[in-house]
């Protein structure tokens, strides 16, 4: 038992160590691009102009970042969270992949099995996405403008990719747990009616809180 606990600590220690290293490396890589451009052209923006531009968007992005970390981590686990935030595209791709993999494997997100399944699924998703994007850039670059042009025949399809993805993913959960799905759906619709421009990360946090609160209330009332 002691060896099992020691191995578990070692695993999570390694996850956090490598996760922090890759997160710092990703930040340095992102910052290196504008710094390299400024060094090459010897043009540096004024600190006042940068501050005035950032002050308009920082409150939104800082709030969304805090909400997303608090929301995604319990669902994706430590390894899945680090991978997701380093590779990006969490809401559209990494989160559905992780949740769908755990659902198919029949494991819970807060279990050791869920941690492993989520990490593997998100890692494979990141590799697959990179390969597909590279192939798409090389093969479809000559035709991409015709496909994504607002006047193109296929243009309407691109606007419904995200709703189709989450609709297909959510349909299975709604069917299995339809009683506890009604309240968070109504809360999400009501929030969007009053705040249609609310960031998706914040909306996700609101609906998760509504899901937990609604489920606990229904359990207490013995409706489920």
Instruction: Express each pLDDT in 82-127 by its tens digit.
Output: 999 998 888 878 988 998 899 899 888 878 889 899 999 999 999 9
CA 219 to chain centre: 29
Check residue 222 and give left, alpha or beta (phi > 0: left; psi -120 to 50: alpha): left
Q: Would you tell me how many other CB atoms lie within 10 Å of the CB of residue 96?
A: 18
Q: Do the Cβ atoms of 105 and 117 come closer than 8 Å? A: yes
Q: Would you tell me how many other CB atoms lie within 10 Å of the CB of residue 207?
A: 20
What pLDDT score does 3 carry?
A: 54
| Confidence (pTM) | 0.67
**Domain parsing of the chain, residue ranges:** 1-44, 46-154
What pLDDT score does 29 carry?
A: 92
What pLDDT score does 140 carry?
A: 78
Residue 56 is encoded by which pair of tokens?
Answer: 């308009």
What pLDDT score does 1 carry?
A: 44
What pLDDT score does 81 carry?
A: 92
Spell out, as residue ranges, where the chain has pLDDT lower than 70.
1-9, 59-60, 201
What pLDDT score does 141 carry?
A: 77
Look-up: residue for tokens 């922090």?
20
């Amino acid at each position: 038992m002691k060896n099992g606990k020691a191995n578990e600590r070692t695993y999570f220690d390694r996850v956090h160590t490598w996760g922090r290293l890759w997160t710092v490396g990703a930040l340095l890589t992102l910052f290196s691009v504008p710094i390299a451009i400024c060094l090459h052209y010897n043009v540096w923006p004024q600190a006042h102009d940068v501050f005035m531009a950032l002050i308009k968007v920082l409150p939104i992005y800082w709030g969304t970042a805090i909400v997303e970390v608090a929301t995604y981590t319990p669902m994706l686990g430590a390894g899945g969270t680090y991978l997701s935030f380093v590779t990006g595209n969490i809401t559209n791709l990494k989160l559905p992949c992780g949740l769908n993999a755990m659902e198919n494997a029949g494991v819970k997100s807060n279990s050791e099995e869920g941690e492993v399944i989520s990490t593997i699924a998100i890692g494979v998703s990141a590799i697959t996405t990179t390969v597909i994007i590279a192939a798409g850039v090389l093969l479809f670059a000559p035709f991409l403008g015709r496909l994504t042009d607002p006047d193109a025949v296929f243009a309407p399809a691109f606007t419904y990719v995200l709703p189709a993805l989450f609709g297909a993913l959510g349909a299975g959960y709604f069917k299995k747990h339809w009683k506890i799905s009604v309240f968070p759906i109504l809360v999400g619709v009501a929030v969007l009616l009053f705040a249609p421009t609310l960031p998706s990360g914040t909306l996700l946090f609101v609906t998760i809180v509504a899901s937990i609160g609604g489920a606990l209330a229904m359990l207490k009332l013995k409706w489920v």
